[in-house]
Structure 1
Amino acid sequence: MLDPTICPSCGDRAEAPTVRQGLLVCAECGHSWPFRRLPLLALTGPSGAGKSTVGPLLAERLSDRVVVLEQDVLWTGGLRDDVDGHPTFRATWLRMAAMIHQSGRPVVLCGTVVPPEFEPLPERVLFSGIHYLALAAEPDVLARRLRARPRWRGWDEERIAEMLRFNDWLRQQAAGLFPPVELLDTTRTALEETVEKVVAWVEQVLATD
């Protein structure tokens, strides 16, 4: 599957993709072609809440139904933009997920993101919906997990404090975001139970979207 923003007929690249009744439509030449609009599932939350631990186990459990990907694999080079919200990085992931969706399996994207960073982008139209589940934890537990990480990952006290502020903001604002972000507190939840709850969330989304 080609980049969904590029017309396979005339080669024009759309700044804002157009989807009509299951077809991508080129605004330049009018060519249209079949396109699957599947749900994108964002497993989000602050660093240290458990996304990278849950992700591989989720992939094992649901390998025949979804594609589980780590968001940070593309946090490199020119995509590592300093613009607020990182729109180039986010838009690239939306195009990538939309291409993978043409295989018929939705993507579960593991990485820190919130609705205001995805929802306004032109590429948002490529999905039937974006669903957000945030893993979070109490501040002291989150800080302890981050301090225990290898030194090469760069978690100094300033960076930890920044992540704790995001964690607090997310816990307070999740329900009021659009769309709302579901929260799953991993402070005292065993890994196996966390995985079960995330699997249940994925299955619920797939059954209703």
Structure 2
Amino acid sequence: MTNQRILSHFQESAELKIHAGAVLAQPIEQAIELMFTALSNGNKILACGNGGSAADCQHFAAELVGRFERERLPLPALALTTDTSILTAVGNDYSYLEIFSKQVQAFGQAGDVLLAFSTSGNSGNVLAAIDIAQERDMRVVALTGKGGGAIGKKLTDADVHICVPHDRTARIQEVHLVTLHCICDGIDVALFGGDVHE
């Protein structure tokens, strides 16, 4: 029984990834183009999200500042989930809803990109960060699931919405990770050409 349950996780994940790849290829390509343009113009990427999505922010920033699969110059990406003094000061003195938006106010500039994660599409502090980003003429790439929620309604035609077609948080997060790797690979190829696997 336990083995079958384990296998069902793998099967559901694999089936969703194949289906999601077909659905999400175009918005992922749009996200790569948007981030490539920003980085080429000397701008940066700020990332925010909660829980497992916070870990995805840090993972993404590490891939850009360090490397993905090839040696290259560091690329400017910042996870807004890591500075415990900022997070606890803003959460305590203002509101948990403002822990990301105040950082976008502090660090975000026109032409930067906000990478916003919310598996439900309804995270209040991520919505607040998107508001500030849009006010600052930043572009938004939102990774969501469950139909996109309030975030899906907030995005404009200038933004990119990558909404995983599933309702289960674990499966959505798994597709978000593959999506991040697609974006990192796409940025590397767009900036530096060729294919590291060739």
Structures share a fold, TM > 0.5? no
| Higher fraction of helix | 2
Alignment TM-score, normalising by the size of structure 1: 0.40
Q: TM-score, normalised by structure 2?
A: 0.41
Larger Rg: 1
Higher RCO, 1 vs 2 (CA within 8 Å, ≥6 residues apart):
1
